[in-house]
Amino acid sequence: MIRERRLLRLKRFDVLEAELLIRGRRIKKPYIRNNNCVEILAVTGKGKILLERSYRPDVNSFVYEIPAGTLEKGEDPRRGAIRELEEETGYVADKMQFLFAGYPMLGYIDCNSHFFLATGLRKMSQRLENDEDIVVSEFTPEEVLRMYKSGKIKDLNVLPALYHYLYVTKKGRRVTPYIAP
C-alpha cells in the first residue's frame, strides 16, 4: 500500500481509500474499516437455536439472524460475545465456546468475525441499544435449515455457524481453529 486516506468517519466504521501499486499502475480501492465482530450460535438445553428477527434498513426488510455485534475497541472477542448475547437476546450462557474466525467480505470490509457457540442458556432480560428492535425466537436446527433453503434467512453467517455446530462440535470431531491476527 502506498497510502490510505479516510473518506468518511461514522459512529461504527470509517470508509477509507487505499492507494496501491498493482502491476506498475497506481490503483485506488475503497473499503470499510470497522472493529472486529462476534457472531453467536446460541443453543438452548432442548437443542433449539435462538434467532433474532429485526428490521435492517440496508436491505429494507425484517430478517432472521444469529446474535451478533461489533466489538468495542480493544475488547476480547469472548467478552464481546457474552455482552452481545445478553444485550440482544436477554440470555446468559454458562459456556461460550470459540468456533472459528474469518473475514466474511474480503475486499470490502476489514472486519474479522469471531464465531462462538453459547450453551447452558439462562433467560435474563434484553438490554437493547436505542436503534435496536429485536424479537428472539427458538427454532430446531432442521427448521433453521428449511428457513435458509426457502430464503427466509438471508444472513449468510447463520449457515457456517450452524454447520460447524452440527458437523464438527456436536459430532465430537475436533478442528484446530485458525485465529486470524
Q: Classify residue 165: in a domain, yes or no.
A: yes
57 and 141 share one domain: yes
Domain count, the chain: 2
Q: Classify residue 82: in a domain, yes or no.
A: yes
Q: Look up residue 1 and give its three cell numbers.
A: 500500500
Q: Classify residue 181: in a domain, yes or no.
A: no
14 and 62 share one domain: no
**Type and span of the H or E element at 84:** helix 77-89
109 and 153 share one domain: yes
- Boundaries of domain holding 17: 3-32
Q: What's the whole-number mean pLDDT along residues 151-173?
A: 82
42 and 129 share one domain: yes
CATH of the domain at 42: 3.90.79.10
CA atoms of 179 and 112, how far apart (whole Å): 10
76 and 24 share one domain: no
Q: What's the whole-number mean pLDDT along residues 151-169?
A: 88
Span of 24-38, 69-83, 108-122 with lowest mean pLDDT: 24-38
Q: Which residue has the higher pLDDT, 172 or 177?
A: 172
42 and 17 share one domain: no
Tell me the per-residue pLDDT of 86-145, one tens digit each, with 9 for 90 and over.
999 999 999 999 999 998 888 888 889 999 999 999 998 888 777 778 899 999 999 999
156 and 73 share one domain: yes
What are the backbone angles phi and psi of residue 120, rounded to the nearest 5°?
A: 65, 50
pLDDT of the residue at 177 = 41
Q: Which residue has the higher pLDDT, 58 or 23?
A: 23
71 and 90 share one domain: yes
**Among 145, 153, 155, 144, residue whose Cα is nearest residue 105:** 155
Q: Classify residue 73: in a domain, yes or no.
A: yes
Q: Classify residue 9: in a domain, yes or no.
A: yes
Q: Classify residue 175: in a domain, yes or no.
A: no
Catalytic residue positions? Answer: 132
**pLDDT above 80 (res 36):** yes
54 and 81 share one domain: yes
- Listed ranges 18-27, 76-85, 131-140, 159-168; the one with the highest mean pLDDT: 76-85
**pLDDT above 60 (res 27):** yes
